[in-house]
Chains A and B, each alone.
Chain A
């Protein structure tokens, strides 16, 4: 991140008659303040993370032992589907949008987001989207039970009636993401403080700019595919119904055309966060800032040409298999290489290991393990043995839980003193880290083994040879699950009390957000800072 030396705007010269936040519920309902909306996104994401987590614990409790103990198979499928949907669209994406809302204006010296009212609206439709989705749990026929990838015809002709609620839920989530993305692009491109050129922007802002373009390109395609589903179910078309000339494989192509860029949408902001945290605690500038920016930009384009590596066993002609294998292996290069940049940043640095740094290092190690299993999955012939087994479940949980979730936790611990003005309780933070670290590995590493041994995905019960590793995974899941209560305690504790945090907060921190006092005043950078 380019070094930024800027004169500290002292609080006094804020315009004196400016008013603090409104009082009561109205503050949150009508707020157009990027900090309030950021907090609401993060609180919403944390609650969704808990709900999704409870569903994960139900799944793991059932899979603790062979035999059906707790739930009957149809409800189990509902749990896996809702767990996937809520974690992807409810926990990870809103958390990143919340962090973007909080930090981007402060990092580029802007007073607020470019379109504050749209910002409010794109948050407030989210709780209703998930209310619609979650209410389908109580409808006759139950919630969606066709997996978060909702392949046709299971999700069209053979779906429970609540599928229509699922479709409208996804429509609204998509609208919220698109509006959020438009808002972020407009803010980054038009509202940077003078002197804050694109070259000097922190990497978190860069990765979010690229993610926003990805969102605008693919969320409409997701809206398109669920609209096609709606027409198939209710208006008698046959996009995906072979009887009327449609094709279920068409669904998979259009879904994964959205799906693969979506997984990059869920990891690029994490790259940005880690690229902010490691330089701070290594007290050394990020190694190869330009390479990171260019590599992230190339991912935005290359992620559109590899979607069919999710479909190697669907019966593609040989030309298709070989093409998507080559393309997937080639685009792994700009993605994987970033890890070397982080390690090079640490090399010859001067490191301290507070909680954010612990999470960041765990991210680099465990995300790379997920990246390696991803590389193994790219080998098409081997994928015939891996596809739709627990090996794939282990892969994407390694890139999502120690990947996206750990980076969100790292960001929260990193910027919380700036938001609340209180220093972090390091011991509690470390307790949460080590519990999560152990829980995540005990949960997901055994899944590699049962997956290779032949256990398919999304099954409520399994053969005896998979029993031992599954019970271990379930124990790990409960450890990881309950250690998130420590996280909630840490956050609430930090909001309520703690030593006064300085503006700088972290010794090695660079960037505009550290030039304003902690807690960050309600309105910051009303007058743009001088950045040279």
Chain B
């Protein structure tokens, strides 16, 4: 019954902003505009050839009908005409190749970059590491699960919103070093016209110089498994001053997190914090209610690990389990987050073990 209800609800909730975008995004970089112009140029060439060809064809269809007494002629070969209509498209194509090659060469520009960022694709999230600063964070989909399963209305940035966006300075050359952790992903921001496959074990590079500050959204564009459609890319382009400010804030936050690890938490604080961490990092596989998916992802409720020795519970979250989909969350969650989610899993979702662990006890 509930499935029918959600289906009905979703059909009624016509999306707020109906959008009939017909064409490619022109984008906010010199290169994306160049590519847009190429796109329109080849498009108009095709339209012109199409109109000519279909024109002759539909003219023939209407003019030379048997019902209108047309009698078929008997010529069936004319090499000069054929050469003519072969050489013309070839010349158009060769003419088309010149600007295309020029744009391609601009895209492979290898001049020195101001900011270098390593982008690593994980199964179903992105990781951004600033090579020159000590900034390293994960970017997860932040669209609430209720919206995805149609239990609540969808916000305008549905499926295109993340918890930590990638922040880059405007009017600076930013170089991306794109690689992957597990399977092939592809990092794409339509407004930058930057799309690069992230291949595990290898490194690719792309660059962008954005003119206007703003928030630009994209998605993973290479099938990478279950949640391929749920790992968006959000890039916040700030002016140079705001960017410098942001870098400073990030450093301050890192310091705060470091001493948070030494702070003592109460059981309730840990459980409250743990629930947020669980929904963001664990619910994707173990499901929001902790039942997991039989045969694919084990349940947390009544799980031997979640109710067994607490050290084993911490260890499987920190180091993951080789050969299974359980990743090592050591780099993805802070010590405080790990302590909170362990305490939450042992004292919620149907488990009532009653013990807890402090962030300082987490060995990373």
In the complex, are the beta carbons of A340 and B53 less than 8 A apart?
A: yes
CB contact between A284 and one of B11, B73, B227 (< 8 Å): that residue: B73
With contact pairs A284-B76, A314-B199, A315-B204 given, residues A74 and B100 touching in the complex (Cβ less than 8 Å) = no
Q: List the one stretch of B154-162, B307-315, B341-349, B350-358 in contact with chain A.
A: B154-162
Q: Which B residue sits closest to A67, measured CB to CB?
A: B150
Question: Is A242's beta carbon under 8 Å from chain B?
Answer: yes
State A344–B89 Cα separation when bound (angstroms).
16
Contact flag A343-B66 (CB < 8 Å), given A313-B186, A467-B15: no
The answer to whether A381 touches B100 (Cβ under 8 A) is yes
Inter-subunit contact A464/B15 (CB<8 Å) = yes
Interface string of B1-15 (1 = CB under 8 A from A): 000001100110001
B256 within 8 A of A: no
From residue 299 to 339 of chain A, which have CB atoms closer than 8 A to chain B? 313-315, 318, 321-322, 325-326, 329-330, 332-333, 336-337, 339
Q: How far is the CB of B55 from chain A (nearest CB, A)?
A: 10
Q: Which of B6, B54, B194 has the most CB of A within 10 A?
A: B54
Asked if A506 is an interface residue, CB under 8 A from chain B, the answer is no
Give Cα A465 to B85, complex, Å.
Answer: 41
B76, A289: Cβ atoms closer than 8 Å: yes
Assess whether B34 is interfacial by the CB under 8 Å rule: yes
Shortest A196–chain B CB gap in Å is 19
Q: Are B183 and A158 in contact (CB under 8 A)?
A: yes
The residue of chain A having its C-beta at the shortest distance from the C-beta of B227 within the complex is: A73
Chain A interface residue count, CB cutoff 8 Å, equals: 99
Interface string of B75-113 (1 = CB under 8 A from A): 011110110011001100110110011011101100000
The reply on A459 being an interface residue by CB < 8 A is: yes
Q: How many chain B residues touch the partner (CB < 8 A)?
A: 106
**In the bound complex, do residue B195 and residue A313 qualify as a contact, i.e. CB atoms below 8 Å apart?**
yes
B93-135: contact bitstring with A at CB < 8 Å (1 yes, 0 no)? 1101100110111011000000000000001000000000000
Which residues in A have their C-beta under 8 angstroms from that of B148?
67-68, 461
Q: Are B182's CB and A153's CB within 8 A?
A: yes
CA distance A382 to B97 in the complex (A): 12
Q: Which residue of B lies closest to A246 (CB)?
A: B201
| Interface-central residue, A70, A285, A345, by most chain B CB under 10 Å | A285
* Complex partner residue of B70 from A140, A349, A375, A384, CB under 8 angstroms: A349
Residues of A within 8 Å of B77, CB to CB, are 287-290
Tell me if B207 is interfacial: C-beta within 8 Å of chain A: no
The yes or no answer to B65 lying at the interface (CB within 8 A) is yes
Per-position 1/0 for B198-238, Cβ under 8 A of A: 01111011000000000001111111111111100000000
B196 within 8 A of A: yes
A347 at the interface (CB under 8 A from B): yes
Instruction: Find chain A residues with CB under 8 A from B199 CB.
Output: 248-249, 314-315
- Which chain B residues border A350 with CB–CB below 8 Å? 64-66, 70-72
A255 at the interface (CB under 8 A from B): no
B276 interface residue, CB < 8 Å from A?
no
Please, what's the 1-or-0 string for A64-97, where 1 marks a CB less than 8 Å from any CB in chain B? 0111111001100100000000000000000000
Question: Are B226 and A384 closer than 8 Å at their CB atoms?
Answer: no
Q: Is A188 an interface residue (CB 8 A)?
A: no
* B201 near A352: Cβ-Cβ < 8 Å: no
With CB as the reference atom, state the residue of chain B lying closest to A465. B19
Q: Is the CB of A384 within 8 A of B195?
A: yes
Whether the pair A283, B66 counts as a contact (CB closer than 8 A) is yes
Distance to closest chain A CB from B162 (angstroms): 13
Q: How many Å from the CB of B52 to the closest CB on chain A?
A: 10
Find out whether the CB atom of B23 lies under 8 angstroms from the CB atom of A340: no
Pair A464/B16 contact, Cβ less than 8 Å: yes
Contact string against B for A residues 133-161, beta-carbon threshold 8 Å, 1 for contact and 0 otherwise: 00000001100011100010110011000
- Expressed in whole angstroms, the minimum distance between the Cβ of A381 and any Cβ of chain B is 4
Q: A369 vs B49: C-alpha distance in the bound complex, in angstroms?
A: 11
Is residue B184 contacting chain A, with contact meaning CB distance below 8 A? yes
Query: Do residues B101 and A351 form an inter-chain contact, with CB atoms below 8 A?
Result: no
Residues 138-185 of B at the A interface (beta carbon under 8 Å): 147-150, 154, 156-160, 178, 182-184
Find out whether the CB atom of A249 lies under 8 angstroms from the CB atom of B35: no
Please determine whether A314 and B197 come into contact, CB atoms closer than 8 angstroms. yes
- CB-CB under 8 A for A333 and B90, given A313-B195, A339-B53, A384-B194: yes
Chain A residues touching B, majority SS: helix
Closest A residue by C-beta to B295: A140
Are B156 and A351 within 8 A (Cβ)?
A: no
Contact B67 A151 (CB under 8 A): no
List residues of chain A with CB within 8 A of the CB of B85.
Answer: 337, 340
Given A333-B90, A456-B229, A468-B18, also A351-B60 (CB < 8 A):
yes
Whether A361 is near chain B, meaning CB under 8 Å from some CB there, is yes
Q: Please name all residues of chain B whose beta carbon is closer than 8 Å to the beta carbon of A434 when the two chains form the complex.
A: none
Q: Is the CB of B190 within 8 A of A454?
A: yes
CB distance B156 to A464 under 8 Å? yes
Q: Is A380 an interface residue (CB 8 A)?
A: yes
The answer to whether B38 touches A379, judged by C-beta atoms less than 8 angstroms apart, is yes
A25 within 8 A of B: no
In the bound complex, how far is the Cα of B267 from the Cα of A3, in angstroms? 92
Is there contact, CB below 8 Å, between A329 and B15? no
* B42 within 8 A of partner (CB): yes
| Contact of A364 with B by CB under 8 A | yes
- Taking a contact as CB atoms under 8 Å apart, the answer to whether B24 and A385 are in contact is yes
Which residues on the B side are within 8 Å of A286 (C-beta)? 76
Most chain B Cβ neighbours within 10 Å, of A157, A243, A457, A464: A464
Docked Cα-Cα span, A463 to B229, in Å, equals 10
Answer whether residue B21 sits at the interface, using C-beta atoms and an 8 A cutoff.
Answer: yes
Q: Are the CB atoms of A452 and B20 closer together than 8 Å?
A: no
Q: Which of A348, A369, A373 has the most CB of B within 10 A?
A: A348
- Nearest-Cβ distance from residue B73 to partner chain A, whole angstroms: 5
Nearest CB of A to B46, in Å? 4
Asked if A523 is at the interface (CB within 8 A of a chain B CB), the reply is: no
**Chain B positions within 8 Å of A314 at CB level:** 197, 199, 204
Contact indicator B228/A465 (Cβ below 8 Å): no
The reply to whether the CB of A346 lies closer than 8 angstroms to some CB of chain B is yes
With a CB–CB cut-off of 8 A, which chain B residues contact A347?
A: 56, 60, 64
Other-chain contact of A458, B82, B105, B160, B223 (Cβ < 8 Å): B223
How near does chain B come to A327, taking the closest CB pair, in angstroms? 11
Q: Which of A318, A341, A348 contacts B104 (CB 8 A)?
A: A318
Decide if B251 is an interface residue (CB 8 Å cutoff). Answer: no
**Residues from chain B with Cβ under 8 Å of A364 in the complex:** 57
Question: What chain B residues lie within 8 Å of A381 (beta carbons)?
Answer: 34-35, 38, 100, 103-104, 107
Tell me if A452 and B197 are in contact (CB < 8 A).
no
**Known contacts A284-B72, A291-B79, A361-B61, then 16 further A-B pairs from the complex at CB < 8 Å, ordered by chain A residue:** A65-B11, A73-B230, A158-B183, A243-B201, A282-B64, A289-B76, A313-B197, A315-B178, A322-B101, A333-B93, A340-B85, A350-B64, A352-B66, A361-B57, A376-B46, A461-B229
Ordered by A's residue number, 8 sampled pairs between the chains whose C-beta atoms are within 8 Å are: A313-B195, A325-B97, A336-B89, A349-B70, A368-B54, A388-B222, A449-B22, A462-B159
Please report A residues at the B interface, Cβ cutoff 8 Å.
Answer: 65-70, 73-74, 77, 140-141, 145-147, 151, 153-154, 157-158, 242-243, 247-249, 282-291, 313-315, 318, 321-322, 325-326, 329-330, 332-333, 336-337, 339-341, 343-353, 361, 364-365, 368-369, 372-373, 375-376, 379-382, 384-385, 387-389, 449, 452-454, 456-469, 508
Rank and list the top 7 A-B pairs by shortest CB-CB distance, nearest first. Answer: A242-B201, A459-B229, A315-B204, A372-B46, A285-B76, A465-B19, A454-B190
